[in-house]
Structure 1
Amino acid sequence: MRAFLLGLTLVLWSHLSARDVETKPNDPAFARFQPKQAPAPQGLLLRPGDRLAIIGDSITEQKMYSRIIETYLAACMPDLQVTVRQYGWGGETAEGFKNRMTNDCLRFQPTIATTCYGMNDHRYTAYDAANGKWYRDNQEAIIKAFKAAGARFVIGSPGCVGPKVPWSKSGSEEMNLNLCELRNICLDLAQQENVVFADVFWPMLTLGWKATNEFGAQYAIAGKDAVHPGWAGHLVMATAFLKALGLDGDLGTITVDLANNQATAGGGHEVISLKDGELTVKSRRYPFCAPTGDVKDDNAIRSGMALTDFNSRFNRLRLVVKNAPAKEYRVTWGGESKTFTAEQLASGINLAAEFSVTPFDTAFKRVDEAVGRKQGYETKQVKSLFHGEEGAVDMEATVALTERARAPLAAAIKEQFVPVTHVIKIEPKP
């Protein structure tokens, strides 16, 4: 009887614990992982005019997920008027940032911040409780400092490692189990401190598994060195932070009534004309325009889009066509044509997802390149100048001088964001 009760208890415990962890892929490789279930985001965290600080280690200093986020906010959510600074520092731990946060970051009075630490903190080895406490204490100190400064906070988990980290003798499973524990610590801290949690680790690990199954064993979600992701991995990271920030991703709807020759648009778009199925629209909001790339390429943003729900969740520019008498229509947009049924068009199609080449591509690229130039200078500003000879001699003068150099780079982002006039042609297929 005692053996039966013990067995029943273990069964009940396993069912309870299964409800408390994230859904796992059906693969024995995930058996040892226990990622605590994270709560769903609760509404928009960003506010108009926010000053967002994106903070982290060398993965942040790659200026890839941070660039995706800033370009998205500038081009796709311009009404929010959010400004961004990135604070990536190669080799850094949470303790390292804690020691420099007042001088490098808090002086600029961020109203909201994201962090992504844990890769260096986990020391590329198996988990141990003492190291976990050290990590937790430093993360907690950072959160409390930002809260005391009046800033909202998103604590991001670390990502995952790939099959073989060149500079570590530990196995990837042991390292990822360690990173999973640090992820859980981040979640616990978010709940304790009433801040927001961004889950980077579990999507990276599970989508990496999915990608190797779909695209081949050579696919490296965590990057070719097993630590620093390419563009696909950074798109996964950006998606995690955009979710945590509570963004909706509704980029507007364009509605055409073919029978009555009428069209309307909302969400930053204005109908200029409609004649014989040719619609001209002026847009003051862009979709997110990824460069063309192979979905099997781990260094392509479009590969990350194929793995995630980025387009359906954050990149929805919808075309709805009502009262279409033909069965099928050819829709031409940005030099590319695709065929849709009248039923599909009546339900609405996502132009941003359906078309790989768009009329926004050139304008979007200009904004993105301006973001890249500014973020590149921010690395130099903090690492080379604040923490170089100039800062050692006179920090306040160095801050003032570098801010004058940064200002036109920040202004250029807004200057490059201009309305785009484009044409959507809707023709019945013979």
Structure 2
Amino acid sequence: MIHYKTCFNLLCLQLSISLSLPSITSAAPALQENDLIAICGDSITEQRKYSVNMAAYFLMCQPESGLRSMQLGQGGENASIFSKRLISEVLPFQPDVVTTCYGMNDGGYQALNDDRALRFRESTQKYIDELRAAGVRRIVLGGPGAVDPQTFSRSGRPTTAEIYNQTLSSLSDIAREIAAHNNLIFVDIHTPMLEVIHQAEAKYGPEYYVAGSDGIHASDNGQFIMSYAFLKALGCDGQIGTITYDAETDTATATSGHTILSAQLGAIDLESTRYPFCFAGDPSSPNSSIGMLEFIPFNQELNRYMLVVKHAPAQQMKVTWGEDSKVFSAAELAQGINLADEFLNSPFYPAFRKVVTALHAQQGYESRTIRPHLKMLLDWEQGFPEAFNEKPELFAWQKTKIIERAAERVEATAQKVVPVQHRIVIESVE
């Protein structure tokens, strides 16, 4: 049978946290060239927010070359359900890296009891064993997030946000223990999310909910915390690129992923195939991730697109990138400024947005079409064994076609990452 990785190789030929940081229990690199990452979880994953952020980072920020990803979350799921479906809906794609995020539903939305805690522990260990037996190289075990104290109380749940956050904290501790026992990467999502909830409420008020309007399904802001935590745990170093300009010689150099087209009189024209992560929207809106930059060091740790200016001719220099200009001291420029952090209105944004839109569509297709078709084949095998046994080659052909179609969509999205031409202008301030 042709699996995802085989299909992907064929298609390549054809298509030529001042916050609590995620715990990492292994020093081995998590991501390697051409890895396929399967992003798994419950409805919070299936919302296509943190999973799209991660996929966008893999494709455009390029912590390793050739990374591809799939979103294989399922609404209403817990660790027990995942352990039963991963053989039919995840492993056929032969992922190299699998991230999981369970616990929100496992707690039953009430105080944790011994039975639910044991079920979560045993189910988590079961799917870890199955993933390892299938040859998955790296497993990233994410704990559950947090519920929002403001909005969770409005959802009619049988307990308070304070009690359920205690449940989620306990489940996160269990996941941490399991990760340590199995030498896996563990991602603490609960602690930083709860910290940011309190910080953001103090800044923007109680209606700036972080864990969603229902208190459970985080909005863009809360899911961005999840993205940050997973990317940090995966070992992404945040080096997007460095542009170095020598004002004395009027010459410029660039690191990999960025090509100097021309440098003349302080105007540097570039073409880049590696993008900084981009932001837009209203910082005070839960439906934008840009407000999170005040509370998590994403740009500093994961999004460094540096400009270094040597031998600046004046003590104050104006830098223009895209539509915006800012003034920096010669000392600041000699040390290096982070364009991605200083210029949030990035000239990369239009191209970045197109890729994000394609990723959102790709992940929706994976949720609505790919996984249900694979499940249907399993239902046929279990419910109509006589038909399955009579025509096994037909079912094998159907499974191959489903996997091939998924590979085509993933690769088509990757092709949306196109070179971006942009200009940096460096001028003296008189």
Corresponding residue for residue 194 of structure 1: 183
Give the alignment of 1:11-410 within 5 angstroms: 38=23, 42=27, 44-77=29-62, 79-151=64-136, 152-163=138-149, 164-165=152-153, 166-290=155-279, 292-388=280-376, 392=380, 396-410=396-410
Distance 1:337 1:92 in 2: 48
What is the TM-score when the length of structure 1 is the normalising length? 0.88
Question: What displacement does 1:257 show?
Answer: 0.8
Paired letter, 1:92: E
Paired letter, 2:186: F
Q: Which string of whole-angstrom CA distances, capped at 9 and with x for unpartnered residues, describes residues 51-78 of structure 1?
A: 1110000000001101000111001107
Distance 1:281 1:49, change over 3 A: same
Corresponding residue for residue 3 of structure 2: none
Question: What displacement does 1:50 show?
Answer: 1.0
Distance 1:398 1:302 in 2: 43
Question: What displacement does 1:387 show?
Answer: 3.0
Consecutive unaligned residues of structure 1, counting only runs of 5 or more, are: 1-21, 25-34
Distance 2:160 2:32 in 1: 43
What is the TM-score when the length of structure 2 is the normalising length? 0.88
Partner SS, residue 248 of structure 1: coil
Question: What displacement does 1:391 show?
Answer: 5.7
Partner SS, residue 352 of structure 1: helix
Distance 2:23 2:45 in 1: 23
Distance 1:389 1:300 in 2: 39
Q: Does 1:411 pair with 2:411?
A: yes
Distance 1:233 1:124 in 2: 19
Question: What displacement does 1:235 show?
Answer: 0.7
Question: Contact between 2:48 and 2:364, CA under 8 Å: does it hold in 1?
Answer: yes
Paired letter, 2:114: A
Paired letter, 2:144: P
Corresponding residue for residue 422 of structure 1: 422
Name the % identity.
37
Question: Contact between 1:41 and 1:244, CA under 8 Å: does it hold in 2?
Answer: no
Partner SS, residue 80 of structure 1: coil
Partner SS, residue 332 of structure 1: strand
Corresponding residue for residue 13 of structure 2: none
Q: Which string of whole-angstrom CA distances, capped at 9 and with x for unpartnered residues, describes residues 29-63 of structure 1?
A: xxxxxx99945774631111111110000000001
Distance 1:274 1:300, change over 3 A: same
Distance 2:129 2:378 in 1: 30
| Count of aligned pairs between the two proteins | 398
Distance 1:204 1:127, change over 3 A: same
Once the two structures are overlaid, the 10-residue window that deviates more, 226-235 or 337-346, is 337-346
Distance 1:190 1:285 in 2: 33
Question: Contact between 2:321 and 2:425, CA under 8 Å: does it hold in 1?
Answer: yes
Q: Which string of whole-angstrom CA distances, capped at 9 and with x for unpartnered residues, describes residues 335-391 of structure 1?
A: 111111111111111111111222211211122122111111100134432334896
Higher relative contact order (CA 8 A, sep 6+): 2
Paired letter, 1:118: G
Question: What displacement does 1:148 show?
Answer: 1.6
Partner SS, residue 241 of structure 1: helix
Paired letter, 1:229: A
Corresponding residue for residue 4 of structure 1: none
Distance 1:142 1:40, change over 3 A: closer
